[in-house]
Amino acid sequence: MPHILIVEDEAAIADTLIFALQGEGFTTTWVSLGEAALEHQRQTPADLIILDIGLPDISGFETCKQLRRFSEVPVIFLSARDGEIDRVVGLEIGADDYVVKPFSPREVAARVRAILKRMAPRTVADVSSVLFRVDSERVQISYRGQPLSLTRHEFRLLQCLLEQPERVFSREQLLDALGVPADAGYERSIDSHIKSVRAKLRLVRADAEPIQTHRGLGYSYSPGHS
């Protein structure tokens, strides 16, 4: 049964989230401070964290930054601010979703369920596993026997491409694989992630081009270029 950590300083909001999440079968813990959330995740890791940005001690942004130093747990930001820049910053520092207050607790519970479903281990196509080894539990991909140093988003991006060789994924589809809303102004960041993944693959084999660009369409994994 997945366990959800709620980090929210307003008791009324926390109560509505607890009620909705427990109604969906999740277990929950509530803390009101960022530092308490970090300590809780170190001691008893949750499966997902719902994190308010405006906390009394340190901001949710800073909490997430510190969290990413030792944990890849999925994070959903809660915020009263709905500006595009806040959404982009939140996603850039490692969040999986961004929900603006006021919100529907049932919708948040649905988003939690969707993110946890995407995080579940998936089988990579056999044709890809000849050169690549994917360890979903450890969030690790090896290429030609060498582990790649990937960020969480790079891992999900490469995993998505490997699962369906030769399929061309649009930026919007890859954003969906990352759990990032396509309307968050994040599309061009896919290009940056692809560039970084390619550079790390070339450290293993300089002439390898397993990720192909399809101009105006998107990207694909081509085993023949691995």
CATH of the domain at 199: 1.10.10.10
- The helix (run of H) or strand (run of E) holding residue 214 is strand 211-214
DSSP β-ladder status, 140-143 and 132-135: antiparallel
pTM over 0.85: no
Q: What is the mean pLDDT of residues 99-124?
A: 81
Q: Are residues 85 and 178 in the same domain?
A: no
Read off the DSSP letter of residue 54.
S
pLDDT at 128: 47
Same domain membership, residue 132 and residue 113:
no
Q: List helix spans (H) across 68-226.
A: 84-92, 105-119, 126-129, 152-163, 171-178, 189-204
Distance CA 62, CA 53 (A): 9
Confidence band, pLDDT 50/70/90 cuts, at residue 185: low
User: Taking the chain, what is the end-to-end CA distance rounded to the nearest angstrom?
Assistant: 39
What does DSSP say about strands 211-214 and 146-147: parallel, antiparallel, or unpaired? Answer: unpaired
One domain for residues 132 and 219: yes
Question: What is the residue type of 138?
Answer: R
